[in-house]
Amino acid sequence: MELHDTTLKSIQLSESLEDYMETIFELVRDNKLARIKDIAKARDVRSASVIPAMRRLSEMGLITYEKREYIDLTPAGERVARRVYARHRLLTRFFRDILGIPNEFAQKDACALEHSLSDEGMDHIVRFFEFIQSCPEGGDVIARLQTCSLVNSDKKQCTGGCAIRHKEHVPSPAQMKTLRQIKPGESCNIIRINGTGAIRQRILDMGLMPGINVYVERVSPAGDPMWIKFQGSQLSLRLKEAETVLVNPE
């Protein structure tokens, strides 16, 4: 099977068809053959949905598909499938092993991106791995990232060896303020969200993230909601939420 001389770019498959190709690739690799039933099961669709897809892939010359015969990849199809599969693997590794996203979610996110990741994007992720693998600092920092309590637990303070060094760069806990402590009329820059679970998610969904600049508009006379402004629009925040947002006053 020659892999040269043909370009993969010529064929532009839909996401669905790419998924079928990837599924067939895995089935052929594991079981030597792919059946309609297995494909349907793997993709969680009905057999009847598989058949028109197989017909289209067959017309494109990517699979061999004769009625009631087993399905296999053509050499061209193998190239296409391998490409998608490689992207899936790379993304899964990146999301899981570098970013620490639990496997289940890493898989899901990889599925979403594998179809549309640009060549540039893929290349840079590979380079990221190359860097991690080649540069001693790279490996060290990823190890530190993965053990840092900031990232991996819900403790608010980084414990362990890096605790002291944190203070060099970042305002010490004493200097650090929460968004709640910022007075109306003042601005600040978000460092970290200490909230967890639903609170954290809600804060992130609003767009409050590390690096974002926030202006405090006013605090309700009643005390509780405070109004903040950022990225050109204004919204209200419960004090309970604002307490969990660590900021750097300006």
Partner DNA sequence: AACTCCATGTAGACGTGTCTACCATATCTA
Partner DNA sequence: TAGATATGGTAGACACGTCTACATGGAGTT
Of its own copies, DNA, none, which one sits near residue 16, judging by CB under 5 to 8 A according to partner kind? DNA
Q: How far is the CB of 250 from its own copies (least distance, A)?
A: 15
Q: Given the rule CB under 7 A, which residues bind DNA?
A: 14-17, 35-37, 43-49, 51-54, 56, 67-69
Residue 117 contacts by C-beta under 8 Å, 6 or more apart in sequence? 87, 91
CA distance 98 to 239: 34
Nearer to DNA, 44 or 137 (CB): 44
Alpha-carbon distance values, 122 to 61, 110, 127, 129 (Å): 26, 12, 9, 11
Of DNA, its own copies, none, which one sits near residue 118, judging by CB under 5 to 8 A according to partner kind? its own copies
State which amino acid sits at residue 191.
I
CA distance 50 to 45: 7
Q: How far is the CB of 62 from DNA (least distance, A)?
A: 13
Cα atoms in the 13 Å half-sphere on the side-chain side of 133: 8
Nearer to its own copies, 57 or 148 (CB): 148
Of its own copies, DNA, none, which one sits near residue 67, judging by CB under 5 to 8 A according to partner kind? DNA
What token pair was written down for 185? Answer: 């009329």
Q: How far is the CB of 111 from DNA (least distance, A)?
A: 12
Q: 208, 154 in Cβ contact below 8 A?
A: no
Nearer to DNA, 16 or 74 (CB): 16
Nearer to its own copies, 54 or 84 (CB): 84
Q: How far is the CB of 221 from its own copies (least distance, A)?
A: 16
Q: How far is the CB of 32 from DNA (least distance, A)?
A: 14
Nearer to DNA, 57 or 125 (CB): 57
* Closest among 177, 174, 197, 188 to 228, alpha carbons compared: 188
